[in-house]
Amino acid sequence: MLSHNHELYIKSELHILISYSKQTLVTKNNKMGKNLILIGCIITFIGLIYHFFPSALKWFGNLPGDIKVEKPNTKIYFPIVSMLLVSVIFNILYRLYKYFQ
């Protein structure tokens, strides 16, 4: 059996852990919401550029290294270099975001 003081200590420790986990959960939810809004703004910005200036993104998908196979009944397209470029850009943006956060 635990003494009364030990029971109070355990209850206070549990209370601290529960309140800490609630605070971190709220903080993570706020950050996730802000990140989703930021991603939505970026996608909207790209969509507006594509809508008002369609020739501005004409180069995307036609880079050297993108594989295109066109036959009479078949079209196969592998945008390897374009996706590498997107990956590098997103990686740089993510690192800048984490650096200034």
Q: Is the dihedral of CA 17, 18, 23, 27 positive or negative?
A: positive
Helix (H, G, I), strand (E, B) or coil at 53: coil
- H or E element in which residue 33 lies: helix 4-52
Mean pLDDT confidence for 39-65: 87
pLDDT digits (tens, 9 = 90+) for 58-77: 888 888 888 989 999 999 98
